[in-house]
Amino acid sequence: MDIQYSCVGCGKCCNDHHVPLTLNESKRWATDGGAVIILVEAFLENGYGIPEHQLNHARSRSLLVSSGEARAYIAITFAAYNAGPCRNLNSDNMCNIYERRPLVCRIYPMEINPHIPLRPVTKDCPPHSWEAGPDLIIGGKLVDSELATLIEQSRQADRDEIITKEAICTQLGICTTALKGDGFATYLPDMPSFAAAIEQVLGQSIIPPSESNWCFQLSRDSITDAMKLHGAKISNSGTGIYTFIPLQQVSSALGK
Q: Which residues bind ligand SF4 (CB under 6 A)?
A: 7-14, 19, 86, 88-89, 95, 97, 101-102, 105, 108-109, 124-125, 129
Least separation, in Å, of the C-beta of 5 and ligand SF4? 8
User: Position 67: which residue type?
Assistant: S
Q: Exposure pattern of 159-194 as b/e (b: 16+ CB <10 Å)? A: eebbebbbbbbbebebbbbbbbebbbbbbebebeeb
The smaller minimum CB distance to ligand SF4, of residues 34 and 189, is found at 34
Closer residue to ligand SF4, CB minimum distance, 80 or 168: 80
Distance in Å, CB of 87 to ligand SF4, minimum: 7
Ranges assigned E (strand) in 60-174: 63-67, 70-80, 135-138, 141-142
Q: DSSP secondary-structure letter at 81? A: -
- Do you find a cis peptide bond into 109, omega within 30 degrees of 0? yes
Among residues 125 and 234, whose Cβ is nearest to ligand SF4?
A: 125
Contact, 215 vs 70, CB < 8 A?
A: no
Q: Give min distance, CB of 247 to ligand SF4, in A.
A: 18
Identify the bridge partners of residue 138 per DSSP, sorted by sequence position. Answer: 141
Give whichever of 7 and 188 is closer to ligand SF4, judged by the CB atom. Answer: 7
- Comparing CB distances to ligand SF4, the nearer of 87 and 228 is 87
Q: Smallest distance from the beta carbon of 229 to ligand SF4, in angstroms?
A: 42
Q: For the CA atoms of 248, 43, 114, 241, what is the dihedral angle to 10 degrees?
A: 30
Q: How far is the CB of 142 from ligand SF4 (least distance, A)?
A: 16
What residues pair up with 3 in beta bridges, in sequence order?
A: 137
